[in-house]
């Protein structure tokens, strides 16, 4: 791999051992994937934020980077709680203190501590064709597919290393030739509502590559579909005909055809008498927040069902009028955290969500093993109102 | 027999092989506090597996093996990917990939020298 003189100097430790270590990680990853060189990035999204997932070891590593600063705009993934709801989220003193130490370590590096999986709404917004290094899988697939920015599925450590060096190895989805479709998805139905996240879960299991779809939906439908694909599989990009910015040149001669029937989707549908309706995995868009507020406005909440909405702090601030309506109804709008990385899955045993991704994780033992049903937003909201 | 691969983290290691035939889901299969992978002891062993999978946070789990004093002597892989490679670098665990692991059996005593494996 070609290194500039400046990069060689960093490798030799000229600006410090920690910078040398971070660059070494990028160079090794570059060698593994046959990158020719490092390329500048315009932003980073960093995972490995919740104390529930990285633990004391992760915290120890982050503290070892003391004095190191990031070079590009960098934002964080959600953490274990919203500080206003410590009791509701069953946060003990250790979790609170350790989580704040993690956040402070990131803050000292110059990272913006907005903690969201949807930085692309306001906090960290890339343009078409921009090279970035993002680690949150649902944000990676959104950035590549819907925005047309370019990122591989970075790890928590490689995204951090990229943020600190301001570069990423030039391979994979940074290159035109690797952004074309590998699979054509053929459906015998028009997806609606919860079909989008359920379809995403199925595609994630069937496809390793870049699927191409001929369906119609809106940004929120595709956000939920993509997040589910990235959770149940390793997909980092898809194309939707007449919708995503790069679909025109996406089809090559050798795409594999995959058929999915309505029956397969229907098999994933189930009925659960839910205790919690969780919306916002990935965090809600302004339009999702508006739909929720308009639906619950003036209605009465059922006593034995909670409504928790998860949003980026920036969306919560900008649309405080909508938040007030939801709170007046008796729902909660939480920021900085989500249904997966908080203790929500351990508190509630029956959860309804719009998210295939949340269902994928929450049903696992490690996250509480709850009974989870995926339904469209309005079906879920109807189960919360009297 | 000598198997040649590519060094991800240079180093020398000699020890007993603990082999896994399937990919390891790092965040989930690895218990860094007890030094076990899927219930098997890996502390001070040479861990052989095809490749890592799962959450992007997994690199910190590998770092955790070092942090809790439970690190293996080395990793031998068919194919390195982002999670294991970055984890092995920050945990300073000698790691080689590009190895035909079908040639290595569980319980064998092997020697790793940077990019090559010696099977006595």
Active-site position among B10, B21, B55, B67: B55
Q: How far is the C-alpha of A315 from the C-alpha of B46, rounded, in Å? A: 49
Q: Which chain A residue lies closest to B7 (C-alpha atoms)? A: A28
User: Which residue, chain included where needed, has tokens 């939920």?
Assistant: A224
For an interface test with B, give the residue of A65, A156, A163, A341 to mutate (most B CBs within 10 A).
A156
Amino acid A272: pLDDT: 80
Q: How confident is the model at residue B3 (pLDDT cuts 50, 70, 90)?
A: very high
Q: Which residues contact B5 (CB under 8 A, 6 or more apart)?
A: B76, B96, B97, B98, B99, B115, B116, B117
Catalytic residue list contains B102: no
Question: How does pLDDT run along chain A (386 residues), one tens digit per residue?
Answer: 999 999 999 999 999 999 999 999 999 999 999 999 999 999 999 999 999 889 999 999 999 999 999 999 999 999 999 999 999 999 999 999 999 999 999 999 999 999 999 999 999 999 999 999 999 999 999 999 999 999 999 999 999 999 999 999 999 999 999 999 999 999 999 999 999 999 999 999 999 999 999 999 999 999 999 999 999 888 999 999 999 999 999 998 889 999 999 999 999 987 788 999 999 999 999 999 999 999 999 999 999 999 999 999 999 999 999 999 999 999 999 999 999 999 999 999 999 999 999 999 998 887 889 999 999 999 999 999 99
Asked whether the beta carbons of B84 and B55 are under 8 A apart, the reply is no
ipTM topping 0.90: yes
* A–B CB contacts, 8 A cutoff, strictly below: 86
Give kind and range of the element (H or E) at residue B76.
strand B74-77
Cβ atoms of A340 and A362 within 8 Å: the answer is: yes
Q: Do A29 and B90 touch (CB under 8 A)?
A: no
Both tokens assigned to A165: 């060096």
| Torsion angles phi and psi, residue B113, rounded to 5 | -125, 100
Name the minimum distance, in Å, from the CA of B89 to any CA of chain A.
Answer: 7
DSSP code of residue B80 = -
Mutate to test the interface with A, among B56, B79, B85, B114 (most CBs of A within 10 A): B56
pLDDT at B5 over 90: yes
Query: Which residues from chain B sit within 8 angstroms of residue A57, using beta carbons?
Result: 32, 60-61, 63-64, 66-68
Burial string for A267-281 (b: 16+ CB within 10 Å, else e) reads ebeeebebbbbbbbb
Counting other chains too, the contacts that B28-34 makes at CB distance below 8 Å and 24 or more residues apart are B28/A366, B28/B54, B28/B55, B29/B54, B30/B58, B30/B61, B30/B62, B30/B65, B32/A57, B32/B61, B32/B62, B32/B64, B32/B65, B32/B67, B32/B68, B32/B70, B33/B64, B33/B68, B33/B70, B34/B70
Q: Is the pLDDT of residue B53 over 90?
A: no
DSSP per residue over A124-185, as a string? Answer: S-PPTT-B-EE--HHHHHHIIIII--B--B--HHHHHHHHHHTEEES-GGGSGGGSS-SEEE
Using an 8 Å CB-CB cutoff, list chain B residues near A45: none
Give the global pTM.
Answer: 0.94
Pick from B57, B58, B86: which is nearest to A29 by CB? Answer: B86
CB spacing of B56 vs A47 below 8 angstroms: yes
Q: Scanning every residue of chain B, which has its alpha carbon at the shortest distance from the alpha carbon of A58?
A: B60
DSSP H or E stretch at residue A225: helix A219-232
Nearest CA in chain A to B98: A32
Shortest Cα distance, chain B CAs vs residue A251, angstroms: 27
Tokens in use for A38? 């490092």
Q: B80 to chain A, minimum CA–CA distance in Å?
A: 7
Decide if B2 contacts B117 (C-beta within 8 A): yes
Nearest to B82 among A48, A137, A154 (CB): A154
Residues of A in contact with B59 (CB under 8 A): 48, 155-158
> Could you tell me if B42 and B72 are in contact, meaning their C-beta atoms sit under 8 angstroms apart?
yes
Partner B contacted by A24 (CB < 8 A): yes
Decide if A21 and B56 are in contact by the 8 Å CB cutoff. no
Residue in A with minimal Cα distance to B96: A32
Q: Residue A85: its pLDDT value, please? A: 97
What is the nearest CA distance from A366 to chain B, expressed in angstroms?
8
Q: Please list every residue in chain B whose beta carbon sits closer than 8 Å to the beta carbon of residue A25.
A: 85-86, 89-90
Task: Tell me: cis bond preceding A282? Omega within 30 of 0 counts.
Answer: yes
Among B1, B44, B39, which Cα is nearest to B20's? B39
Cα dihedral sign, A86-A135-B80-B20:
positive
* DSSP letter assigned to residue A337: B
**pLDDT for residue A367:** 85
Q: What's the pLDDT tens digit per position in B54-110?
A: 888 899 999 999 999 999 999 999 999 999 999 999 999 999 999 999 999 999 999
Q: How many helices (H) and strands (E) does chain A have?
A: 15, 15
Option in B28, B56, B64 nearest A155 (CB): B56
Tell me, what's the pLDDT at A338?
A: 95
Handedness of CA A316, A363, A197, A201 (dihedral sign): positive
DSSP conformation letters of A52-119: HHHHHHHHHHHHHTTT---SSEEEE--BS--GGGTTTTT--HHHHHHHHHHHHHHHHTT-EEEE-S-T
Q: Count H helices, E strands: chain B?
A: 3, 13
pLDDT of residue A364: 85
What pLDDT is recorded for position A218?
Answer: 97
């Amino acid at each position: 791999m070609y290194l500039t003189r400046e990069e060689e100097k960093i490798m030799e430790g000229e600006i410090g051992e920690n910078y040398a270590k971070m660059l070494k990680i990028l160079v090794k990853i570059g060698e593994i994937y046959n990158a020719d060189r490092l390329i500048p990035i315009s932003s980073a999204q960093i995972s490995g934020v919740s104390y529930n997932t990285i633990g004391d070891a992760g915290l120890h590593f982050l503290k070892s980077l003391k004095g190191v600063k990031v070079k590009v705009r960098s934002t964080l993934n959600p953490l274990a709680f919203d500080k206003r709801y410590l009791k509701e989220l069953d946060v003990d003193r250790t979790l609170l203190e350790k989580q704040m130490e993690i956040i402070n370590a990131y803050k000292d590096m110059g990272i913006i501590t907005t903690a969201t999986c949807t930085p692309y709404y306001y906090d960290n917004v890339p343009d078409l064709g921009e090279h970035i290094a993002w680690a949150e899988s649902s944000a990676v697939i959104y950035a590549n597919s819907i925005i047309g920015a370019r990122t591989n599925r970075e790890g928590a450590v490689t995204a951090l290393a990229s943020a600190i060096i301001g570069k990423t190895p030039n391979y994979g989805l940074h290159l035109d030739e690797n952004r074309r479709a590998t699979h054509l998805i053929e459906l015998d139905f028009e997806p609606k509502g919860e079909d989008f996240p359920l379809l995403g879960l199925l595609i994630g299991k069937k496809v390793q590559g870049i699927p191409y779809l001929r369906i119609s939906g809106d940004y929120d439908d595709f956000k939920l579909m993509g997040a589910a694909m990235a959770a149940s599989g390793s997909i980092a990009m898809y194309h939707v005909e007449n919708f995503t910015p790069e679909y025109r040149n996406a089809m090559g001669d050798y795409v594999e055809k995959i058929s999915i029937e309505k029956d397969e989707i229907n098999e994933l549908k189930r009925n659960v008498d839910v205790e919690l309706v969780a919306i916002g995995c990935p965090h809600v868009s302004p339009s999702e927040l508006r739909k929720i507020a308009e639906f619950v406005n003036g209605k009465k909440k059922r006593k034995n069902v909670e409504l928790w909405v998860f949003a980026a702090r920036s969306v919560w601030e900008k649309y405080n009028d909508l938040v007030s309506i939801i709170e007046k109804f008796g729902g909660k709008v939480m920021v900085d955290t989500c249904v997966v990385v908080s203790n929500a899955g351990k508190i509630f045993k029956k959860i309804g969500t719009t998210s295939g991704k949340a269902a994928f994780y929450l049903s696992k033992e490690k996250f509480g093993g709850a009974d989870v049903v995926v339904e469209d937003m309005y079906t879920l909201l109807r189960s919360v109102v009297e | 027999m000598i198997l040649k691969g590519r060094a991800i983290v240079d180093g020398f290691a000699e020890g007993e092989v603990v082999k896994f035939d399937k990919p390891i889901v790092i965040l989930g299969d690895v218990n860094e506090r007890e030094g076990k992978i899927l219930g098997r002891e890996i502390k001070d062993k040479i861990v052989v597996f095809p490749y890592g999978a799962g959450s992007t946070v997994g690199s910190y789990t590998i770092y955790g093996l070092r942090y809790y004093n439970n690190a293996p002597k080395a990793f031998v892989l068919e194919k390195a990917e982002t999670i294991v490679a970055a984890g092995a670098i920050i945990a300073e665990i000698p790691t080689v990939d590009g190895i035909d692991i079908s040639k290595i059996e569980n319980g064998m005593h092997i020697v790793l020298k940077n990019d090559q494996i010696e099977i006595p």
